[in-house]
Amino acid sequence: MSSARSWPALVVLAALAALPLTPFMTKYYMLLGFDALLFGAVAMSLDLLMGYTGLVSFGHAAFFGLGAYATAVLLERGVLSLWLGLGFAVLVVGLYALIVAYFATTRRGIYFALLTLVFAEVVYTFFRYTQTFGGSDGIQGLPAPYLWPGLAIDTPARNYYLILAYLALAYAACRVLVGSHFGRVLVAIRENEDRARFLGYNVQRYKMGVCVISALLTGLGGALYPGRAAYATPDLMLWTVSGELIIMVMIGGLGTLVGPVIGGAFFIILQEKVSSYVDWYFIVIGLVLIAIVLFMPRGLFGLRRLLTLRPWRATA
Amino acid sequence: MLRLREIHAGYGATPILFGVSLEIRAGEAVALLGRNGMGKTTLMKAVMGFLRPWRGTIEFDGRLLTGLTPHEIARLGVGFVPENRRIFPGLTVRENLELGLSAAPRPSAALRRQRLEEVFQHFPRLRERLDQLGQTLSGGEQQMLAIARVMMAGARIILMDEPTQGLAPALVRHIRQMIQELKRLGVTVLLVEQNARMALNVCDRGYIMEKGLIVFEGPAKELRESPVTREKLGV
C-alpha cells in the first residue's frame, strides 16, 4: 500500500477516532458504532473469499461464533487477558478453519458454499443442543477483559476504540494481502481456476490459505464480541448470520474491501434503527437491499464514482 | 521429450481417444491436425492433467505425467496456451505476466525483471500495454500475452490449442512468426491447429487425427504434399 493511496483510509480512520469526542456519541451510539465497525470488518474478511477469490462461504458465522466462545470460555474461568483470549481464538478458529477449508476447497461453486454451511450447522448444533457450553443460553454474565492489568476494556468508549484498532489492522492486513502476489493468484483463480492451474499454481492450497486467513480475521472479530456484550450465545452462529454477512458484502461492493465495511456498518445501523420502530423491520431492510442490488450493482461503495469520476478497478 | 503411448481417454462413459501414440523430440515443432471433434483438445487436456487417461502413459523428459495434477505438470515445464479467452481479463498485462512466474514460488525482483526483459525483446508491444487491463487488448495481443506468460514460466515445451482461431490473416502471420521465434529459442512446440497450411509451414512434423486415432504422420513437407492431408482435412 503506497502512502499516496492510503491517505483516504487514514482520513476516515482519524474521523472515526474523533467521533467519540462529539457530544452526539452517547453510550448507545458508542455500542452501535462498535457493532457497525465489527460487522464491517467481518464482512471485509468475507470479501477476501467472495470478492477476490470467487468463493461464497455460507458458514462464516461459525468462525465468528467460535471466536466469541473462545474468549467467553476463558473470561468465564477468570482468564481476563485479552491477548490470551485472542490467542486462544486463533488456535480454535484456525484448527476448525483448516478442517473446513480442507474439505470445502475440494469442491467448487455451490458445493463449496454448501460444505461451509454444513460444517457451520454442525458447530451450531453442538453449541445449541448440548449443555457443554451452556446450551441455548450460551455463556452469560462475563466480566470485561483487560489489555493489561489495570486497563480493562469496560466502557463503551474503550470497546469502541478497541474495535476501531481491530478494523484498522484487519484492513491493513487485507490491503497488503490483496496487493501481494498471493492476492493476484486469488484473482486469477476467481477469473479462471483451470487457467491458474496450468500456470503451475496449486489452486487448492491458495484457496485453503485464503479461507483460513478470512476465518481467522472473522474469528478475531468474534473474540472481541464478549467483551462488549458480556455473553456468547449459539445465536451468533446461526446460518442467518452467515447470510447477513453475505448481504453486507453484496450491498457494500464485492471485491473492494472498503465496500463491505460500509455495507456491514450500513446493515447494522439500518437494522437497529428500523427495528426500534417496527417489528417487521426485515421487510424494510429487504426492500432497501433489493433497491441497492437493482440500482447499484457495484454496491454502496460504487457510489463514490459519482463524486470522483475517476476510472476505477473492481479488482485493485 | 514428450511421449504419449496408447492413450485412451474420454468423458464419463464416452470414449474420445482410442489409443493415441505420438512423440515430440526436444527442439521440434510438431503440428497436430484434424477437423473439429476428432479429439485434439481432449488430447491436450490429458497431457495437462485435466483429464485422466483411462489407459496409456504420458512421459515428459522420462517422467511419467499420468496421475499428476495440472499445477505439478505445469511446474515441470509444460506450458499450455489454451484456445479462446486465454488471459486473465481483470488483471493488467504486467500482472498476467508475473503470474506466469509460478515455477519460482517467491520470484525475486531480479528474476522478474530479467524474464520481463526477455519477453519484451520478443513482444515489444506488451511493454507499451504493461498497465492496461487484459480485457482491453486486441485478440492478437491477448494471444501474444498468453504465449509470453508461458515464456515467463520458463516452459520447455509449449502446447498451443488453436492459436489462430478467429484471428485476422495479418495476425495469423504474426502468430506464425511467434512460433518460429519460440523454435529459434529452443522451445519445443506442440501446435494443435485447424489451419493446416499455416501449421505445416511452421512445424517440422505433423500428425493427423481422426476419430480419436492418429491416422497419418510424417515430416511437414510430406504432409503438405500428400493427398491424404487433403482428404482428411479438406485443404
- pLDDT, tens digit (0-9, with 9 covering 90-100), for B207-226: 999 999 999 999 999 988 88
Helix (H) / strand (E) element for A147: namely: strand A146-148
Q: In the prediction, which pLDDT does B199 show?
A: 92
- As a whole number, mean pLDDT of residues A100-116 equals 95
Residue reference for cell 464478549: A226
The span from the CA of A270 to the CA of A265, in Å, is 8
| Mean per-residue pLDDT over chain B, rounded | 89
Q: Which residues lie below 8 Å from residue A78, measured CB to CB, with a gap of 6+?
A: A143
Helix (H) / strand (E) element for B81: namely: strand B78-81
Four-residue CA torsion sign, A245, A250, A255, A257: negative
Q: Place A316 in a pLDDT band, splitting at 50, 70 and 90.
A: very low
- As a whole number, mean pLDDT of residues B126-152 equals 89
Q: Do A198 and B133 touch (CB under 8 A)?
A: no
Q: In the prediction, which pLDDT does A4 show?
A: 55
Domains of chain B: 2-233 (3.40.50.300)
- For B64, the 3-state DSSP assignment is strand
Q: Place A314 in a pLDDT band, splitting at 50, 70 and 90.
A: very low
Nearest to A299 by CA among A251, A256, A244, A262: A251
Higher pLDDT, A157 or B123: A157
Calculate ∠ Cα A147-A149-A155, nearest 5°.
55
Who among A184, A203, A313 is closest to B99 (CB)? A184
The span from the CA of B222 to the CA of A80, in Å, is 83
Give the β-pairing of B63-64 and B213-219: unpaired
Q: Please say if the pLDDT value at position A313 is more than 70.
A: no
Higher pLDDT, A93 or B122: A93
Q: Please say if the pLDDT value at position B173 is more than 60.
A: yes
Who among A191, A200, A314 is closest to B71 (CB)? A200
Q: In the prediction, which pLDDT does A285 show?
A: 84
Q: Please say if the pLDDT value at position A312 is more than 60.
A: no
User: Which percentage of chain B shows pLDDT scores above 90?
Assistant: 50
Q: Chain A window 170-199: which residues touch B at a Cβ cutoff of 8 Å?
A: 181, 184-185, 187-188, 191-192, 194-199
Q: Do B99 and A192 touch (CB under 8 A)?
A: no
Least confident piece of the model among A52-56, A98-102, A213-217, A273-277: A273-277
Q: Please say if the pLDDT value at position A299 is more than 60.
A: yes
Least confident piece of the model among A238-252, B29-43, B77-91: B77-91
Nearest to A268 by CA among A12, A39, A15, A24: A39
* Per-residue model confidence as pLDDT tens digits over B17-45: 999 999 999 999 999 998 888 899 999 99
| Angular region, B113: left φ>0, alpha ψ -120 to 50, beta rest | alpha
Q: Do B75 and A200 touch (CB under 8 A)?
A: yes
User: Which percentage of chain A shows pLDDT scores above 70?
Assistant: 95
Cell of A35: 457493532
Give A-chain residues touching B86 at CB under 8 angstroms. 195
Least confident piece of the model among A38-47, A218-227, B139-148: B139-148
Q: In the prediction, which pLDDT does A248 show?
A: 95
* Per-residue model confidence as pLDDT tens digits over A31-44: 999 999 999 999 99
| Mean per-residue pLDDT over chain A, rounded | 92
A315/B contact by beta carbon, under 8 A:
yes
- As a whole number, mean pLDDT of residues A92-117 equals 96
Q: In the prediction, which pLDDT does B138 show?
A: 86
Q: In the prediction, which pLDDT does B106 show?
A: 65
Q: Chain B window 119-148: which residues touch A at a Cβ cutoff of 8 Å?
A: 133
B103/A contact by beta carbon, under 8 A:
yes
Residue type, B49: G
Q: Do A200 and B102 touch (CB under 8 A)?
A: yes
Q: In the prediction, which pLDDT does A6 show?
A: 77
Q: In the prediction, which pLDDT does A102 show?
A: 97
Higher pLDDT, A85 or B176: A85
Distance from CA of B222 to the nearest CA of A (A): 33
Nearest C-alpha in A relative to B51: A194
The span from the CA of A14 to the CA of A275, in Å, is 30
- As a whole number, mean pLDDT of residues B181-201 equals 90
Q: Place B164 in a pLDDT band, splitting at 50, 70 and 90.
A: confident
Residue type, A59: G
Exposure string for A183-222, b = 16+ CB within 10 A, e = fewer: bbbbbbbbbbbebbbbbbbbbbebbbbbbbbbbbbbbbbb
